[in-house]
A and B are shown apart, each in its own frame.
Chain A
Amino acid sequence: MITFEHVTKRYGERLALDGVSWHMDEGECVVFAGSSGSGKTTLLRLITHEIAPTSGTVTVGTFRGPRLPRAKRALLRRTLGIVYEDFRLLNDRSVFENVALAVRITGHFADAEVVPRTLYALEEVGLQQKQAVYPWELSAGEKQRAAIARAIVNRPAVVLADEPTGALEPSSARDVIALLRKIHAEGAALVMVTTRQDVAESLGGRILRLEDGRLPGAGPDAPPPSPYAPAGYPPAESGPAPPGVGL
């Protein structure tokens, strides 16, 4: 589903990722743990094709290549659900409108279908009662739940979470982790990056440690793990994948 083959990313002189190779299958849960500047966010941005690798190849589902054209990049992102540390909600729209936006963006659903899908996603994250309020009226935990609702509303095959508990106090962080576990249990693959070991462990997936842009044990010359036999990692618990716009 997602494969990195000897991926290196440089920002000018700075080396952010150094020959990283890894693979994850459908429904799997992978957590990248590491300190700030270890290359975690770069890794997520490579998956979403916000940036192109300096060398190597990133494959996400059927999307493969160093730099996808704009239209294909948009298509790829529509198959992913993304949760950011700073929520990235639109402050001039209600919670409902923020979540509905992701549905409209797919272009697959008529106006009549947008409402039930959005309400269902809000119900899943427990925000149905707050659908009419604006993001600035929500607590940090509620904002993150709204962002998660937006990420899962299209039933993506993969949810990417960039330090989703980074801006939350402990009880909200626990709620968010529980929500992500639930999403994963329902069949979505999950890729999370975090600086916190406890958060990484609490999600219960495969933990890969990034150190200075490297995955220890997978140097620049190491071959990428086989997409078909990810030895050493237990498959994630997964139920039947719900219908959506997944990869």
Chain B
Amino acid sequence: MHLYYLREAWRSFRQHKGLAVSATISICAALLLCGVFLLLTWNAQRAVSVIGDRREMVVYLRDEVTPAQLDAMMARLTELFGTATYVSKEQAWDEFQQQIGDPALLQAVDQNPLPASLRVRLRPELLNFTAMEQAAKQVAEFPEVEDVRFGGEWVRRLDEMQSTLAHGALAVGIVVALAILLVLHNTIRLTVLARRREVEIMTRLGASDRFIATPFIIEAVAQALVAALVALGLLLALQLLAVAQVVQVGFLPPSWIALFVGATGFLAWAAASLATARVLRSAGP
């Protein structure tokens, strides 16, 4: 029976090649647009996550903090916010000297003015402006703490960029999903109507809606999957072209590809089911 459905889907495709090919091209174009946006989003997210890994909170300590207090505080910070690393006054001064580069500029400084600090590499769930600001406020209330810095403005901008990309991807995704639904819905509707006589005969012979609709649904899903694979191929070509132009662009990871293809197949199934159900209700005696 399954072979029968596949044969029928193939028969339908051959009989309405023009319609099927134009629908596949339309879906491919919509998916390519979506794919380009996904590629940008993926690369931006990757870049943001690399930068995000460097997001840390620097806790400056008062000079009078004892080693016991320091140990207790490190344990507390590690427990609450993430891995804490101690940077002594001397280490801070050495780093500062390396950053300045020219020793002549530091000759006027008599003694080391830099405080000791704790660099806290925050846990992933705290890598956003709101959580970091809250953590910074909490840490600032510790008696051993002189000051807390976490690059608030910079973190806020990163968060905004991520949010914009996510919203953009969602908006493009919704538009493309609607386009796929519309294109496939109309294509399948036209295909069923073009085979109206056949559908009527089958209905008179007692065919269930499922029996009649399944080949059309298979055809729609196959068209959409072919369109998705072609779109992915074109996207890969675009990515390779970008790499050739010395732009560091990575291709979509397997999980995103699977989701892209799966979502396309699901949309095709939904559109074809809806179209056949509507047409059969009006076509069959």
Binding site for B on A (CB under 8 A): 45, 48, 50-51, 70-71, 74-80, 82, 88, 90, 92, 101-102, 104-107, 110-111, 150
Would you give the shortest CB distance from B117 to chain A, in whole angstroms?
Answer: 74
The digit string for B184-197, where 1 denotes a CB below 8 A from any CB of A, is: 00000000000000
- B19-27, B71-79, B207-215: which lies at the interface: B207-215
Contact of B3 with A by CB under 8 A:
yes
Contact of B11 with A by CB under 8 A:
yes
Contact B204 A82 (CB under 8 A): yes
Contact A101 B205 (CB under 8 A): yes
Contact A105 B204 (CB under 8 A): no
Contact A105 B211 (CB under 8 A): yes
**Secondary structure type dominating chain A contacts:** helix
Which of A74, A90, A92, A101 gathers most chain B CB within 10 Å? A74
Report A-chain residues with C-beta under 8 Å of the C-beta of B4: 104, 111
Would you give the shortest CB distance from A198 to chain B, in whole angstroms?
Answer: 28
Contact of B1 with A by CB under 8 A:
yes
Known: A92-B15, A107-B1, A111-B4. A71 touches B206 (CB 8 A): no
Would you give the shortest CB distance from A61 to chain B, in whole angstroms?
Answer: 13
Known: A92-B11, A104-B4, A110-B1. A48 touches B209 (CB 8 A): no
Task: For the complex, count residues of B whose C-beta is within 8 A of A.
Answer: 19
Report B-chain residues with C-beta under 8 Å of the C-beta of A76: 206
Binding site for A on B (CB under 8 A): 1, 3-4, 11, 15, 198, 201-209, 211, 281, 284-285
Known: A50-B285, A70-B284. A101 touches B202 (CB 8 A): yes
Contact B211 A107 (CB under 8 A): yes
Contact A50 B204 (CB under 8 A): yes
Contact B1 A90 (CB under 8 A): no
Report A-chain residues with C-beta under 8 Å of the C-beta of B15: 92
Which of A45, A48, A101, A111 gathers most chain B CB within 10 Å? A101
Report B-chain residues with C-beta under 8 Å of the C-beta of A75: 206
Contact B11 A106 (CB under 8 A): no
Would you give the shortest CB distance from A121 to chain B, in whole angstroms?
Answer: 14
Give bound CA distance, A101 to B211, whole Å. Answer: 11
Give bound CA distance, A234 to B204, whole Å. Answer: 31
Contact B204 A48 (CB under 8 A): yes
Known: A90-B198, A92-B11, A92-B15. A104 touches B206 (CB 8 A): no
Known: A92-B11, A111-B4. A105 touches B198 (CB 8 A): no
Contact A105 B285 (CB under 8 A): no
Contact A88 B201 (CB under 8 A): yes
Contact A82 B285 (CB under 8 A): no
Contact A105 B205 (CB under 8 A): yes
Nearest A residue to B285, CB-CB: A50
Give bound CA distance, A70 to B206, whole Å. Answer: 10
Contact A107 B204 (CB under 8 A): no
Nearest B residue to A87, CB-CB: B201
Cross-chain contact of B1 among A74, A80, A102, A111 (Cβ < 8 A): A111
Contact B198 A106 (CB under 8 A): no
Contact B285 A106 (CB under 8 A): no
Contact B11 A74 (CB under 8 A): no
